Amino acid sequence: MSEKTTFWLDGAEIPFTAGQTLLEAARRAGHYIPHLCWHPDYKPHGSCKLCTVKVDGRFVSACTTLAQAGAHVENRTAELDDMRRTLLQLLFVEGNHFCPSCEKSGQCLLQATAYELGMMSPHFDHFFPNRPVDASHPEVMLDFNRCILCSLCEQAAKRDGKFTFVMGGRGMRGRRVILNSESGRLADTDFSSTDHAAHVCPVGVILKKRVGFAVPYGQRRYDQAPVSLLDVAEAIK
């Protein structure tokens, strides 16, 4: 049995087992650390930086940093939440996030995290980029206006032994998800609506057709409770 030790998170003592990350141990102990690109079923890659915490004064990603005995970790401080809000605002202006017309509204991790952090405005000037919508597949559509480049679809496809979604391109406007078919369309890939990738998107890019408003606004996942409660409830159930 691995040795149990503890670290300190915003003054609370958090137990962990060797090899656990700060994010995993905190969630397991009922403490929410904001995150977007992290998913419990996939290897963390620390790219969205929402889970940034301060360990003994140094900024680290909580999803990729192993817990260490006796460490003092700052999480929901005004300083860190301010920075997280700025990261969210940058994501909102970089894509086209029009919540009132989005099927994912109320079940979207980006939106729920912005609610949690009290984001009242996008603050920056919008890019309003021109991004494609792909409705070629009979069961699933893709709306890249909302993509936050978390790469979870790429990882989820690999879990099924597929390379349907691949992160490609360079730079702020070039980086994107590329579909692995000659036409570049979803219908021409080996994608199936039963793939793990069909259900992993934290925002409203990968959407099952014809069920968009089966559950009305107001009765959706994050309408019931804030993400901070649901996230840790999921970890300890």
Partner 1 sequence: MNAPAKLRIATASLAGCFGCHMSFLDIDERLLELIDLVEFDRTPLTDIKTCHPCDLGLIEGGVCNAENVHVLRTFRQNCKTLVAIGACAVNGGLPAQRNHLDLRDILETIYETEGGLARGTHIPNDPELPLPLNRVHPIHEIVKVDYFLPGCPPSADAIWKFLTDLIAGRTPTLGHGLLRYD
Listed ranges 21-29, 123-131, 177-185, 193-201: which one lies at the site for partner 1 (CB under 8 A): 123-131
From 15, 215, 217, 234, residue interacting with partner 1 (rule: CB under 8 A): 217
Q: Report the C-alpha gap between 232 and 235 in whole angstroms.
A: 5
By CB under 8 A, residue 223 contacts partner 1? yes
DSSP assignment of 77-90: -HHHHHHHHHHHHH
User: What order of strands is seen across the sheet that includes strand 58-61?
Assistant: 12-17, 4-9, 72-74, 52-55, 58-61
| Least distance from partner 1 to the Cβ atom of residue 204, Å | 11
From 45, 122, 135, 193, residue interacting with partner 1 (rule: CB under 8 A): 122
By CB under 8 A, residue 2 contacts partner 1? no
Residues near 228 by beta carbon (within 8 Å), at least 6 away in sequence: 32, 34, 116
In the complex with partner 1, which residue's Cβ is closer, 21 or 96? 96
Measured over all CA atoms, what is the biggest interatomic distance in the chain, rounded to whole angstroms?
Answer: 54
| Least distance from partner 1 to the Cβ atom of residue 148, Å | 15
Q: Quick check: 44 and 87 in contact, CB under 8 A?
A: no
By CB under 8 A, residue 4 contacts partner 1? no
- Contact residues: partner 1, CB under 8 A: 92, 96-102, 105-106, 111, 114-115, 118, 120-123, 125-126, 128-131, 217, 223, 225-226
